[in-house]
Amino acid sequence: MKSVGMGEQSSYDHILTAEYASLLAMEFNRNPVVDDEAAFDIYPPPPSADRSSLPLRPPIVTIMGHVDHGKTTLLDTLRSSSVAKGEAGGITQHIGAFSVPTPNSSTGGQRMITFLDTPGHAAFSAMRARGASVTDIVVLVVAADDGIMPQTREVLELVRKDSNRVGLVIAINKVDKPGVDVSKLEKALLAEGVQLETFGGDIPVVHVSGLTGQGLPELVETISAVAEMQDIRAEETGSIQGYVLESKVDKGLGPVATVLVVRGTLTPGTTLISGLAHGKVRLIKSSLGQSLKSILPGTAALVSGWKELPSAGDEVLQGAEGDIKRALSNRHRKADIEATIQDAEAINESRRAERLLQQKEAEAEKEGIPMEKEYKKDDKKELRLVIKGDVSGTVEAVAGAVQGIGNHLAGVKVVAQGVGEVNESDVMRAKAVDGVVVAFSVNISRPIKNLANTQGVKILESNIIYRLMDEVKAGVIELIPPIIEKRVTGEATVLQIFEIHLKAKQIMKVAGCRVVNGLVEKNKKARVIRNGETVHEGNLETLKHLKKDITEAGKGLECGMAFAGWDDLRDGDMIQMYQEVAKPATL
């Protein structure tokens, strides 16, 4: 193995991957057998050769922007519903999708526009990126009173990566607020590289107010104009291709998913596969709760009939039942293999580290140099979490957000995550790993709360992401040892050393001192400073003024002091009294 460049993998305990095993077999003039059946999967149909002959489809528009910049209020005004009022803290918690009829300037009729509403909080970056991957036009909402924020730049970066396919419209919101300077914001956007039409560029900008509805007709017209220029078309016949925007467990329908169809027409009875989930479409519901007989490309709807809960962001494809079973079997097998490879890599890395440590220890022992103990990852404390949320995309985003909390001393480990209400098994799992249950936007029944109290399991619950993150951060900080500060409360200078003769010919050295600062208290800890260095720390055994025992001595008082079990005090030493104050650690 060394001769063919596989020196690192040549140790007797290294676990080989399938690729390395195949290479090794070929070196011994053996043919590794490739199982064609194991490679079977379902793929989307090839794109049409002549897209101009395809029917037009509704543009998929994603409203993006920083937290509290007014995205949901803007959409709320567009569809005349009260989504924004129902959201916790006025902040959208998961992707919603709905279609809005708008006037079509070219035909004089109506044209549908499908809107996706992506959350603006930093924790939902993954969901926002997923929204951008399926969208045709991004409407970037920037608050006139707040300006460009971190997530504003993040959205601009997402659009730049896919600028050939994704159109951009800037919506400057909250223009109805008094004292806002819209021109200043437009110049700031120009400085970020956004070529606005105002300055001769090609990116349209619309001034709107989600609260009053000002400028919304112009925004809809602008979106329609951009969509017409893009000439968005898709096949309405053939196999289905789409994406799961969101998924959850509905009490009446079981596993359901918001599916955005991009090709084909989805009807009840269609057999679908999405990631490791599959099902037969039983019911299709619109965003308004109406039952639908079919959904065309560019439209999103709630689909029931899944055998398992699909993951948000997974591709949805159509196939025959037999093909779906074969594909599922292979996907499960591949997932198991990938998990095994990850485990093997972790084992190999651990063994490699152990060998290096043994080599260092042997070299240090040979040279007679004591080797300091190296910091190990195992020494890091972990706050173990069981995460439950209302929908899969939210759970994924919460898990991603909390995993970034911590430092080299303590961090977060997600041991389990799932969709639905907190149940008994979640509490018992948290109990088994000495962890905490995190409940995001889900109900916790009284029996479950009582069980958690009985088992000593802490439940962190909230429907606002940043509050939940603060609670998790506080839990991680509790794992880190507190910072001990020593606050000096008094100082005394040693003027002269006296020897006191005790019984049985014992001699005790007492330092004659003068208090120069603060208050010297007998019950506080003391340290001796000599030439700028601490030579001893301990407790006072004796504190006297003349021949009288005292408990404290103020500034300017002369007194005698002696330490318990230490008598190496010298003239000129400084005795400092201090108290230890424990401060919580910080990340």
Mean pLDDT over 472-485 rounds to: 89
In this model, does residue 404 exceed pLDDT 90?
no
SS3 at position 473: helix
Mean pLDDT over 548-571 rounds to: 91
- The pLDDT of residue 521 is 93
- The pLDDT of residue 8 is 64
- The pLDDT of residue 122 is 45
Identity (one letter) of the amino acid at 251?
K
Predicted confidence (pLDDT) per residue in 155-178, tens digit: 888 888 877 788 899 999 988 888
- Angstrom CA distances, 275 to 130, 309, 366, 519, stand at 15, 10, 55, 71
Place of tokens 């359901």: 256
Q: What is the dihedral of CA 274, 279, 283, 286, to 10 degrees?
A: 0
Neighbours of 285 (CB within 10 A): 17
SS3 at position 248: strand
In this model, does residue 316 exceed pLDDT 90?
yes
In this model, does residue 115 exceed pLDDT 90?
no
- The pLDDT of residue 82 is 36
Averaged confidence pLDDT in the chain: 83
pLDDT winner (highest mean) among 82-91, 209-218, 437-446: 437-446
Predicted confidence (pLDDT) per residue in 134-159, tens digit: 788 989 999 888 888 888 888 888 88
Place of tokens 């507190």: 482
Predicted confidence (pLDDT) per residue in 191-203, tens digit: 888 888 888 888 9
In this model, does residue 306 exceed pLDDT 90?
yes
Q: In the structure, what pLDDT confidence band is assigned to residue 364 with cuts at 50, 70 and 90?
A: confident
In this model, does residue 490 exceed pLDDT 90?
yes
Provide the terminal-to-terminal Cα distance of the chain, rounded to the nearest Å.
Answer: 46
Place of tokens 């084909």: 264
Mean pLDDT over 504-509 rounds to: 80
**Separation CA 476–CA 470 (nearest Å):** 10
- The pLDDT of residue 133 is 66
Structure tokens given for 51: 């897209």
Place of tokens 């398992």: 308
Helical ranges in 310-461 per DSSP H: 321-367, 392-402, 424-432, 446-455
In this model, does residue 359 exceed pLDDT 60?
yes
Predicted confidence (pLDDT) per residue in 27-52, tens digit: 888 887 656 566 688 988 888 888 88
- The pLDDT of residue 459 is 94
The contacts of residue 372 (CB under 8 Å, 6+ apart) are none
pLDDT winner (highest mean) among 81-90, 158-167, 457-466: 457-466
Decide if 481 contacts 585 (C-beta within 8 A): yes
Domains of the chain by start residue, with CATH = 1-32 (no CATH), 58-230 (3.40.50.300), 379-479 (3.40.50.10050), 483-583 (2.40.30.10)
Q: In the structure, what pLDDT confidence band is assigned to residue 123 with cuts at 50, 70 and 90?
A: very low
> Which region among 74-88, 257-271, 354-368, 424-438 has the lowest average model confidence (pLDDT)?
74-88
Mean pLDDT over 328-348 rounds to: 83
In this model, does residue 7 exceed pLDDT 80?
no
SS (H, E, C) 124-161: HHHHHHHHHHHCCEEEEEEECCCCCCHHHHHHHHHHHH
